Chain A
Amino acid sequence: MRGLIEKDLRLTLTRKQTILIFAVMAVFMSMSIEGTFIIGYLTMLAAIIAVGTISYDEFDNGFAFLMTLPFDRKTYVREKYLFSLMMAAAAWLIGTLLYFISSLIRRSPADPSELPMLLAFIPVLYMSVTVMIPLQLKYGSEKSRVVLFLIFGIIAVLVFGVSGITGGSSDAFAGPVQTLDRLSPAVVLLFLTAVCVLASIASYIASVRIMEKKEF
């Protein structure tokens, strides 16, 4: 596991110029865009970069050699989930720091009591990882992008479909949103974390099955 994390960290660092550009952009965004956008942006970006290490593993028939190294396929899958979480958490931390620093510069300091709600970015965005990892393992980096677009397309159609049926753009979701608003941030965070854990477990089981069936 340690070797795999080392490999993924080093593969990620091979894109340090791209990461640097995104980091500079993030700093400018945090100064120019008010609100918590920067936290979500960085967390999502880190998750995408982390899942992207699968395409590096796959590139140039690399999987064949990789799977002869001292770990089993379950460990490989586990490491991808762990690495994505580590990356997302690290990016969240940087995003949150930038958010608080920029709010201080703007002389409208953010309230530390917002932290539980800000933490919710991690489980919410990590859920995209639980979709991306099995897709990338199953279809490879190119095809999985198409499948991901299809999934988001279907979700969009469903959302607009529900809105259309209920006759309004927001009425269908107003109820659940109001319910969430009434809950305390800690409860919301707990709920989102629980959903994320369940999604991760289901996704992990699917990913392990995909990897165990694969031949290299």
Chain B
Amino acid sequence: MLRVDNLVKNYGDFRLDISMEIPDGAVTGIVGKNGAGKTTAIKAVLGLIRPDGGHVTINGKEAVNLTGRDRELIGTALADSGFSSYLRVEDVICILRKMYPTFDEAFFRKNCDAQALPYGKKIRELSTGMRAKLRVLAALSHKADLLVMDEPTAGLDVQARNDILDLIRQYLLINEKCSVLLTSHISSDLEGLCDDVYLIHDGRILLHEDTDTLLGSYAVLKVSDETYEKLDKRFLLSSRKEQYGYVCFTNEKQYYAENYPGIVIENGSIDDLILMLTGGK
């Protein structure tokens, strides 16, 4: 579905240099700190920026050369951009009806009702959560084969986040072949949704892993200075000095559980991944 081959984009001192692949039906997350290059990657995928090198292809076609027909198959929700805030929800429906031959108005209205989105209000008068829901609903409303979402749940409360994630999950249940690429700062959102995760740091991919493997085999070890000295470090991805000793990150949880029964082992999460691989020593 989506291939990113040695994509290079330079902004002054910052250089994005990544490769990734999202097969049909896969839900892929991109994680990383602010300024890591997540949004630049998303923009390159959508053809909004021109790569300085490499290729981004969607169904074999360069992203910057996508036609209107190609774009009908892509649903997009961006964190900091959407329909003009002067438009009303009702206006958005009329525009989408004319934009997309496959626009499912019944689906859109049903979900607007369910999420209590007021048709007559201007977008600028809606709450942050409602605006985010509207952006996601617009992306899901035209039977897209590829969803590209940049921080769809950023800045929202738990209820609004869950509502949005449920919308995406329901869509994926009906459209099994749909591929999704999304970024999020909230690791639990990605853990519950993604098949695999790319960790981006300083414009490079530090890690690509299946979410199940990440949650099952990765772990945080908390050890004293003495234990750290004796610890087999072959399977440590990173370690950081703390007051009590060391905190280490491994992708071989089982190995340390079996060979070092006394140490504290906590199951890994995407947050640990980000913290330990981008901030640890």
Q: Cβ of B68 and Cβ of A75 under 8 Å apart? A: yes
**A59, CB-defined interface residue at 8 Å:** yes
CB distance from B180 to the nearest CB of A (A): 15
Stretch of A23-31, A63-71, A99-107, A197-205 at the chain-chain interface: A63-71
Given contacts A6-B94, A71-B68, contact A216 B43 (CB under 8 A): yes
Shortest C-beta distance, B154 to chain A (Å), equals 14
B84 lies within 8 A of A6 (CB)? no
Q: How far is the CA of A11 from the CA of B46 in the complex (A)?
A: 25
A10 to B47 CA separation, bound complex (whole angstroms):
27
* Residue from the list A6, A72, A75, A215 in contact with B50, Cβ < 8 A: A215
Q: Which of B46, B50, B67, B100 contacts A68 (CB 8 A)?
A: B46
The reply to whether the CB of B263 lies closer than 8 angstroms to some CB of chain A is no
Question: Which residue on chain B has the smallest CB distance to residue A5?
Answer: B98
Q: Is the interface of B mostly helix, strand, loop or mixed?
A: loop
Please tell me which one of the listed residues A2, A11, A215 contacts residue B98 in the complex, with CB atoms under 8 A apart.
A2
Closest to B102 in A: A70
Question: Bound state CA distance, A59 and B85, in angstroms?
Answer: 9
Check B94 against A70 for contact (C-beta < 8 Å).
Answer: no
Is B206's CB within 8 Å of the partner chain A? no
With an 8 A cutoff between CB atoms, is B69 at the interface? yes
Expressed in whole angstroms, the minimum distance between the Cβ of B142 and any Cβ of chain A is 8
**Contact indicator B48/A69 (Cβ below 8 Å):** no
Is A7 on the interface with B (CB-CB < 8 A)?
Answer: yes
Residues of chain A lying within 8 A (CB to CB) of residue B78:
64-65, 68
Task: Tell whether, in the assembled complex, residue A3 and residue B95 are in contact, meaning their CB atoms are under 8 Å apart.
Answer: yes
Closest to B66 in A: A72
A18 interface residue (CB < 8 Å to B): no
A62 to B48 alpha-carbon distance, docked (Å): 12
Which residues in chain B, 81-107, are within 8 Å of chain A measured between CB atoms? 81-87, 91, 94-96, 98-100
The CA-CA distance from A97 to B152 in the complex, in Å, is: 50
Residue of A nearest to B139 (CB): A68
Tell yes or no: B195 within 8 A of A by CB: no
Q: Decide if B74 is an interface residue (CB 8 Å cutoff).
A: yes
Instruction: Write out the residue numbers on chain A whose beta carbons fall within 8 Å of the beta carbon of B99.
Output: 2-3, 69-71
Can you give 12 contacting A-B residue pairs, CB < 8 Å? Answer: A6-B98, A14-B86, A60-B81, A60-B84, A61-B81, A64-B43, A65-B135, A67-B46, A67-B48, A72-B67, A75-B68, A216-B48
In the complex, the 6 A-B pairs of residues with the closest C-beta atoms, listed nearest first: A3-B99, A64-B81, A65-B81, A3-B98, A68-B76, A70-B71
